[in-house]
């Protein structure tokens, strides 16, 4: 079984976010990058499936420029066999999905996993578009995934409960916890990451019709005013006159 | 790194005092490669996943299986085999990478102690002194954590005076076994260890011998867990050996070589303890900075107050400076090891020799690292204010756990004495020429001071002169003390403490200046503004501390004209250009506060 895990290269969750170039570029100065946390869960599940399935392989893929390679090697250290980097800025979801789909067509995978969404731009649609482009089913957010022969049993989170599905391979899944426990690479994995193949592929050209215009940060949070529980009148006055929400 | 190996080969331990080291000769932490950074992250993830969420549970000691199970997890990740060569089931990493692991894990409170006792004093005596059979039998299982190890040296009446232990090993009539009898105390990992490295005297020997003792040999009993001020989750037991029958082939190295083993293994333990203390310090700084950002008084976050900024800047600066010295020494040790191996020495022996060579630095770093940690946790409590004194907040544990570091692996007093003792011994053996520079300083003392401005240009020119002078001050006071007391200097412990302080501060200040100089060469001056301020802050601190220690020493042994002359010399050698340290601290603190954590 050939599994493809698509990973994003995203700022650490504690990073301070700001923009440059007239609010059109994310300022990466001093920012530490990590594998997208949801992608990390999907990678962990892929490794578990590989370990339980003789002959299975895991390939990781990232659409990004050369500076994402340390993040890709991190994924290799966790246990992926090889990696592909599509050498392009991941400008929008359709662009990324198209690159993934084209690569997948050229190789032929049985399963494509990724996080339910990235934690930088959070579009949460790449898995759906990849499924559409390949003509495969796509399911998200998947919190349980078990392979049974040519099928898989999935559990998906829905509003107020869970949905259980059976899906034919191949398919695309956007994953989230608790699909697997995220993995810390062991020393052997870290030391072998450098020697595993990391192939750089040039992107296919895509006209996605979307152009970024500007980012805007939310206004800074104002100070919190504490009002005693028995002083409802003051609360109402403040909501009317200061917050102007009543 | 490879380019510096050639030039570094010549560097000898303790030589920093009389040799001007070039910035390009030292290794700086900013040069760690991607793989080493991955290892750093791996260790952080291990703490975040397995340790930090369970600190209370670990310290409660309710589940005696918890600590060994955490060590098992560390073993699965390979964290217990970093120093062990690949052929014995480890990863054979260079010394500085093992330092990096020790640093990050150092923020793991009781787990850090258990892990470092296992991998350090537990495993290394066998790895470095064991014969092939012993190594093959024990090391692979210790490297994975299948067996856990403890080190039994201290006894109720034998602490700092380790060679005075009373535990006896009597050979059996057939010569096939030794029968161990005696009592050991403060044994870290004692409660769950499978393997004990035990020091005992054979018959009426003067010196200790060392033995590998398996718990399964029998004749081993122990007291309940000790109730301690800190590191409460670390198993600490008194262990009794009652007719414990140890096969003769389990003696390590040779008869009466135990004290040497103990001392050499402690060299490694010392520098590792120092760097682990810095890992704990960084974590404490991050927690305290976040609190200072969140805590509001007088309508603003307390991080905006100058008094708090002063604290944060000093905490960060001391850690940064100490770290510079630790990895500098670590690389020196690696370079010496590589040179010994290239010269045909066997790997285990080369490891020991390289550490022995830098034993002075190891002792200095143990003292400095542990005292930086104590400073940091103390200020951490202070920044937390009332919440710092609460047992519910994180500073309570940080404060209590830090304290042991000044005591174990040789108290800081013993280590201070050792630095000067080792230095003088090397001078007497002719390994280190302290005499020529000491005479030169005496001559300079009588000459007219050089008031001319330095012609040299470049980074840190004046600061290096101040640093060089600080070393001269150290040489002047030490030289005079040696002349005064000769062989009786060892009885003047108070003066030796002063001399050690001068030596320590000179080494740390030089290391931070060289680190920043190298960093500027790598990244440009504009990108290193904060680091430069830290170098300035530390240099001023070191010179002031050196001056105070020197004054105390001089006043303790010199009188009349000699005293006057030396005090004048000291004043001249500890003169430093004024610098606005308040502004420097604010710049450093603002950077840390903005990042919300230890940022370097």
Domain boundaries, chain A: 2-218
Q: Could you give the CA distance from residue A60 to residue B562 in angstroms, rounded to a whole number? A: 74
| B39: contact with A, CB 8 A cutoff | yes
Do B468 and B577 share a domain, yes or no? yes
- Last residue in a domain, options B384, B414, B444: B414
Longest Cα separation, chain A: 70
B122 and B155 co-located in one domain: no
Mean pLDDT of chain B: 95
Residue B35 touches chain A, beta carbons under 8 Å: yes
| B122 in the same domain as B244 | no
The pLDDT value recorded for residue B468 is 95
Q: Report the DSSP beta bridge partners of residue A19.
A: A26
User: What pLDDT is recorded for position B91?
Assistant: 96
Give me B282's structure tokens.
């960084």
Do B35 and A184 make contact, defined as CB atoms within 8 angstroms? no
Q: Are B131 and B125 a contacting pair, CB within 8 Å? A: no
CA distance linking residue A77 with residue A85, whole number of Å: 16
Q: Does the pLDDT at position B1 exceed 60? A: no
Which token pair is A168?
């034919």
Task: Please report residues of B whose CB lies closer than 8 A to that of A193.
Answer: 35, 38
Res A114 pLDDT > 60? yes
**In angstroms, rounded to a whole number, what is the distance separating the alpha carbons of residues B122 and B210?**
12
The tens digit of pLDDT for each residue in B216-242 reads 999 999 999 999 999 999 999 999 999
Q: Return d(Cα A82, Cα A18) in angstroms, integer.
A: 34
Query: pLDDT of B459-478, one tens digit each?
Result: 899 999 999 999 999 999 99
B421 in a structural domain: no
Please give, rounded to a whole number of angstroms, the shortest distance from the CA of B79 to a CA of chain A.
Answer: 7
Structure tokens at A183: 């993995």
CA distance B45 to chain A (A): 7
Instruction: Report pLDDT for B7.
Output: 41
Handedness of CA B142, B145, B146, B150 (dihedral sign): positive
Tell me which chain B residue has its CA closest to the CA of residue A183. B45
pLDDT band at B2 (very low <50, low <70, confident <90, very high): very low
Nearest CA in chain A to B299: A223
Give the sign of the dihedral formed by CA B89, CA B93, CA B97, CA B99. Answer: positive
Q: Which of B37, B77, B596 sits opposite A186 (nearest CB)?
A: B77
Is B132 an annotated catalytic residue? no
Contact criterion met (CB below 8 Å) for B396 and B403: no
State residue A208's pLDDT score. Answer: 80
- The SS3 of residue B195 is strand
Last residue of a domain, one of B257, B279, B307: B257
Of A16, A30, A190, the CB nearest to B38: A190
Q: Is B298 left (phi over 0), alpha (psi -120 to 50) or beta?
A: left
- Is the per-residue pLDDT at A67 higher than 80? yes
Residue B246's pLDDT is 98
Which residue in the block uniquely carries the two structure tokens 């029958």? Answer: B245
Residue B5 has pLDDT above 60, yes or no: no
User: Which residues of chain A are within 8 Å of residue B35 when distances are taken between CB atoms?
Assistant: 190-191, 193-194
β-strand partners of A138: A172
Query: Please, are residues B415 and B504 in contact by the beta-carbon 8 Å criterion?
Result: no
Same domain? For B232 and B273 the reply is no
Domain termination site, one of B236, B257, B278: B257
Chain B residue with CA closest to A70: the answer is B34
Same domain assignment for residues B458 and B577? yes
Q: Which residue of B has its CA nearest to A189?
A: B77
Segment (H or E) for A148: strand A138-148
Q: Is the pLDDT of residue B352 over 50?
A: yes
Is residue A157 within 8 A of residue A141, CB to CB? The reply is yes
Q: Which tokens go with B167?
A: 């535990």
Query: What is the model's pLDDT at position B16?
Result: 94
Q: Sort strands B251-252 and B209-214 into parallel, antiparallel or unpaired.
A: antiparallel
pLDDT category of residue A109 using cuts at 50, 70 and 90: very high
Q: Characterize the bridge pairing of strands A82-86 and A151-158.
A: unpaired
Residues A187, B34: C-beta atoms closer than 8 Å: no
Q: Please list, residue by residue across B23-34, b when 16 or more beta carbons sit within 10 angstroms of its beta carbon and e when fewer do.
A: bebbbbbebbee
Least confidently predicted of A40-54, A211-225, B333-347, B350-364:
A211-225
**Beta strands B168-171; B220-222: pairing state:** unpaired
Q: Which of B249, B265, B71, B247 is nearest to B152 (CA)?
A: B265
Question: Strand A57-63 vs strand A2-6: parallel, antiparallel, or unpaired?
Answer: parallel
Weakest mean pLDDT among B100-109, B160-169, B282-291? B160-169
pLDDT at A207: 86
The gap between the terminal CA atoms of chain A, to the nearest Å, is 60
Test B78 with A187 for CB contact under 8 angstroms. Answer: yes
Question: Taking CA A9 as the corner, what is the angle to CA A5 and CA A13, rounded to the nearest 5 degrees?
Answer: 115
Token representation of residue B227: 């109730």
Query: Which residue in A has a C-alpha nearest to residue B36's C-alpha?
Result: A190
Same domain, B44 and B78: yes
Q: Does B45 lie at the interface with A, CB-CB under 8 angstroms?
A: yes
Measured between beta carbons, the chain B residues lying within 8 angstroms of A51 are: none
Q: Which residues of A148-173 are buried (b: 16+ CB within 10 A; e: fewer)?
A: eeeebebbbeeeeeeeeeebebbbbb
Q: Can you give the pTM of this predicted structure? A: 0.93
| Chain segment A160-204, per-residue pLDDT in tens | 999 999 999 999 999 999 999 988 999 999 999 999 999 999 999
Shared domain check, B451 and B588: yes
Residues of A in contact with B45 (CB under 8 A): 184
Of B35, B77, B81, the CB nearest to A184: B77
Picking from A35, A66, A184 by the largest number of B CB atoms within 10 A of its own CB, the best residue to mutate is A184
> Chain B residues with CB inside 8 Å of A16's CB?
594-595
Distance (Å) from the alpha carbon of A147 to chain B's nearest alpha carbon: 27
Q: Are B39 and A190 in contact (CB under 8 A)?
A: yes
pLDDT for residue B10: 59
Angle of CA points B253, B259, B260, to nearest 5°:
65
The residues with which B201 forms a beta bridge, in sequence order, are B168
> Roughly how many angstroms between the first and final C-alpha of chain B, as a whole number?
20
Most B CBs within 10 A among A190, A194, A198, hence the mutation to make, goes to A190
Name the strand (E) or helix (H) holding B55. helix B55-60
**Chain B residues closer than 8 Å to A74 by CB:** 38, 41
B455 with B417: CB under 8 angstroms? Answer: no
Option in B38, B49, B78 nearest A74 (CB)? B38
Domains identified in chain B, total number: 4
* Residue B385 in contact with partner chain A when CB distance is under 8 A: no
B91/A186 CB distance under 8 A: no
Asked if A184 and B78 come within 8 Å (Cβ–Cβ), the reply is no
Q: Considering chain B, what percentage of its residues have pLDDT values greater than 70?
A: 97
Question: Can you give the residue range of the structural domain that contains B251?
Answer: 150-257
One domain, residues B276 and B402: yes
pLDDT category at B313 given cuts 50, 70, 90 is very high
Q: pLDDT tens digits for B492-538? A: 999 999 999 999 999 999 999 999 999 999 999 999 999 999 999 99
Chain A residues with CB under 8 Å of a chain B CB are 14, 16, 30, 70, 73-74, 77, 184-188, 190-191, 193-194
Name residue A161's beta-bridge partners. A158
Same domain? For B177 and B284 the reply is no
Neighboring chain A residues of B82 at a CB cutoff of 8 Å: 187
Task: Give the domain CATH number at B469.
Answer: 1.20.140.10
> Using CA atoms, how far apart are residues B474 and B464, in angstroms rounded to an integer?
15
Q: Phi and psi at residue B167, in whole multiples of 5°?
A: -60, 135
Give the count of beta carbons closer than 10 Å to the beta carbon of residue B573: 26
- As a residue count, chain A comes to 246
- CATH label of the domain that carries residue B74: 1.10.540.10
DSSP structure class, residue A21: T
Taking CB atoms and an 8 Å cutoff, what residues of chain B touch A186? 42, 76-78
A contacts of B46 (beta carbons < 8 Å)? 184
Task: Render pLDDT for B22-58 as a digit per residue (tens, 0 to 9).
Answer: 999 999 999 999 999 999 999 999 999 999 999 999 9
Distance separating alpha carbons of residues B287 and B292, to the nearest angstrom = 9
Q: Provide, rounded to the nearest whole percent, the portion of chain B with pLDDT above 90.
A: 92
Q: Which of B194, B280, B184, B293 is nearest to B240 (CA)?
A: B184
Average pLDDT rounded to a whole number, residues B412-428: 95
The C-alpha of A223 sits at a distance from chain B's nearest C-alpha, in angstroms, of 10
pLDDT tens per residue, range B100-138:
999 999 999 999 999 999 999 999 999 999 999 999 999
Q: Report the C-alpha gap between B484 and B503 in whole angstroms.
A: 19
Residue B491: pLDDT over 90: yes
Contact A188 B38 (CB under 8 A): no
Q: Is B22 on the interface with A (CB under 8 A)?
A: no
Residue A187 to residue B79, Cβ atoms within 8 A: yes
Q: Is B410 in the same domain as B451?
A: no
CATH number 3.40.50.620 given to A2-218: yes
At A49, list the tokens: 């499936």
Which pLDDT score, from 0 to 100, does residue B454 have? 59
B82 touches chain A (CB under 8 A): yes
CB contact under 8 A, B77 and A74: no
Q: Are residues B131 and B99 in the same domain?
A: yes
B373-414 pLDDT tens trace: 999 999 999 999 999 999 999 999 999 999 999 999 999 999
What radius of gyration do chain B's Cα atoms show?
A: 24
**B357 pLDDT higher than 60:** yes
pLDDT at residue B452 in the model: 59
Q: Least CB-CB distance to B91: which of A73, A191, A193?
A: A191
Active-site annotation holder among B409, B505, B517, B533: B409
Measured CA to CA, the distance from residue A9 to residue A68 in angstroms comes to 6
From CA B439, how far away is CA B191, in angstroms rounded? Answer: 55
Cα atoms found within 13 Å of the Cα of residue B595, Cβ hemisphere only = 19
Q: Choose among A186, A188, A190: nearest Cβ to B35.
A: A190
Judge whether residue B4 has pLDDT over 60.
no
Kindly tell me if the per-residue pLDDT of B8 is higher than 70.
Answer: no
C-beta separation of B135 from B88 below 8 A:
yes
Beta carbon pairs, A and B, within 8 Å: 44
Residues B86, B168: one domain? Answer: no
One DSSP character per residue, A208-241 reads ---------PPPPPPPP----TT-HHHHHHHHHH
CB–CB of A187 and B76 under 8 A? Answer: no
pLDDT of residue B172: 97
Residue A44: φ, ψ to 5°: -60, -40
Structure tokens at B443: 């001559």
Tokens of B187: 């044994």
């Amino acid at each position: 079984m050939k599994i493809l895990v698509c990973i994003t290269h995203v700022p650490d969750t504690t990073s301070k976010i700001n923009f440059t170039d007239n609010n059109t570029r994310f300022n990466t100065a001093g920012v530490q990058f990590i594998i997208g946390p949801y992608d990390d869960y999907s990678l962990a599940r892929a490794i578990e499936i590989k370990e339980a399935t003789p002959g299975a392989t895991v390939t990781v893929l990232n659409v990004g420029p050369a500076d994402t390679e340390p993040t890709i090697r991190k994924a290799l250290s966790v246990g992926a066999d090889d990696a592909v980097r599509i050498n392009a800025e991941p400008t929008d979801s359709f662009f990324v999905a198209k690159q993934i789909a084209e690569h997948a067509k050229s190789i032929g995978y049985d399963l494509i996993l990724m996080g339910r969404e990235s934690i930088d731009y959070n579009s949460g649609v790449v898995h759906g578009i990849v499924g559409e482009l390949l003509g495969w089913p796509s399911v998200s957010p998947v919190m349980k995934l078990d392979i049974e022969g040519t099928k898989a049993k999935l559990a998906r989170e829905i509003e107020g409960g869970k949905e259980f599905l059976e899906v034919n391979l191949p398919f695309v899944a956007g994953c989230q916890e608790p699909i697997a426990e995220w993995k810390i690479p062991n020393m052997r994995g870290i030391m072998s990451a450098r020697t595993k193949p990391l192939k750089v592929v040039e992107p296919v050209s895509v006209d996605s019709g979307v152009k970024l215009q500007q980012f805007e940060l939310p206004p800074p949070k104002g100070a919190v005013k504490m009002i005693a529980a028995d002083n409802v009148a003051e609360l109402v006055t403040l909501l009317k006159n200061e917050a102007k929400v009543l | 790194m490879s380019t510096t190996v050639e030039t570094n080969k010549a560097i000898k331990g303790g030589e920093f005092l009389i040799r001007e080291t070039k910035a390009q000769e030292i290794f700086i932490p900013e040069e760690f490669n991607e793989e080493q950074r991955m290892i750093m992250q791996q260790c952080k993830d291990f703490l975040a996943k397995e340790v930090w969420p369970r600190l209370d549970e670990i310290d409660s000691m309710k589940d005696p299986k918890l600590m060994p199970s955490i060590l098992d997890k560390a073993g699965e990740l390979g964290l217990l085999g970093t120093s062990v060569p690949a052929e014995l089931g480890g990863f054979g990493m260079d010394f500085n990478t093992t330092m990096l692991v020790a640093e990050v894990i150092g923020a793991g409170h009781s787990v850090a102690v258990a892990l470092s006792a296992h991998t350090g004093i537990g495993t290394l005596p066998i790895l470095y002194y064991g014969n092939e059979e012993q190594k093959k039998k024990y090391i692979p299982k210790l490297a994975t954590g299948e067996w856990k190890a403890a080190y039994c040296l201290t006894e109720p009446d034998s602490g700092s005076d380790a060679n005075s232990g009373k535990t006896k090993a009597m050979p059996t009539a057939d010569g096939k076994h030794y029968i161990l009898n005696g009592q050991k105390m403060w044994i870290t990992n004692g409660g769950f260890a499978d393997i004990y490295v035990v020091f005992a005297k054979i018959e009426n020997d003067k010196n200790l011998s060392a033995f590998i003792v398996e718990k399964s040999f029998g004749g081993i009993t122990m007291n309940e867990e000790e109730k301690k001020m800190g590191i409460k989750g670390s198993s600490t037991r008194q262990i009794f050996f009652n007719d414990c029958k140890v096969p003769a082939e389990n003696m390590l190295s040779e008869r009466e070589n135990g004290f040497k083993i103990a001392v050499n293994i402690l060299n490694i333990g010392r520098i590792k303890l120092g760097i682990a203390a810095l890992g704990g310090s960084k974590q404490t700084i991050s927690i305290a900075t976040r609190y200072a950002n969140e805590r509001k008084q007088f309508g603003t976050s307390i991080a905006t107050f100058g008094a708090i900024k002063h604290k944060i800047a000093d905490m960060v600066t001391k850690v940064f400076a100490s770290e510079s010295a630790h990895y500098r020494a670590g690389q020196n040790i690696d370079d010496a090891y590589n040179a010994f191996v290239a010269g045909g020495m066997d790997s285990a022996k080369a490891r020991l020799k390289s550490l022995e060579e830098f034993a002075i630095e190891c002792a200095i770093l143990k003292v400095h690292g542990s005292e930086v940690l104590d400073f940091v946790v103390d200020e951490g409590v202070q920044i937390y204010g009332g919440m710092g004194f609460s047992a519910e907040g994180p500073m309570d544990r940080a404060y209590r756990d830090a304290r042991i570091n000044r005591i174990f692996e040789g108290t800081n007093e013993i280590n201070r004495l050792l630095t000067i003792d080792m230095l003088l011994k090397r001078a007497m053996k002719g390994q280190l020429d302290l005499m020529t520079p000491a005479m030169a300083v005496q001559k300079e003392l009588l000459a007219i001071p050089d008031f001319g401005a330095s012609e040299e240009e470049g980074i840190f020119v004046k600061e290096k002169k101040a640093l060089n002078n600080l070393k001269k001050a150290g040489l002047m006071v030490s030289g005079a003390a040696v002349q005064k007391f000769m062989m009786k200097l060892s009885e003047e412990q108070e003066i030796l403490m002063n001399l050690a302080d001068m030596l320590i501060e000179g080494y740390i200040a030089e290391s931070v200046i060289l680190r920043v100089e190298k960093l500027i060469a790598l990244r440009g001056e504009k990108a290193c503004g904060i680091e430069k301020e830290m170098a300035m802050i530390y240099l001023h601190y070191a010179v002031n501390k050196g001056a105070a220690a020197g004054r105390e020493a001089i006043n303790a042994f010199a009188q009349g004209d000699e005293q006057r002359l030396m005090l004048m010399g000291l004043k001249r050698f500890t003169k430093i250009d004024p610098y606005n340290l308040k502004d420097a601290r604010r710049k450093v603190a603002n950077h840390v506060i903005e990042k919300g954590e230890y940022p370097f």
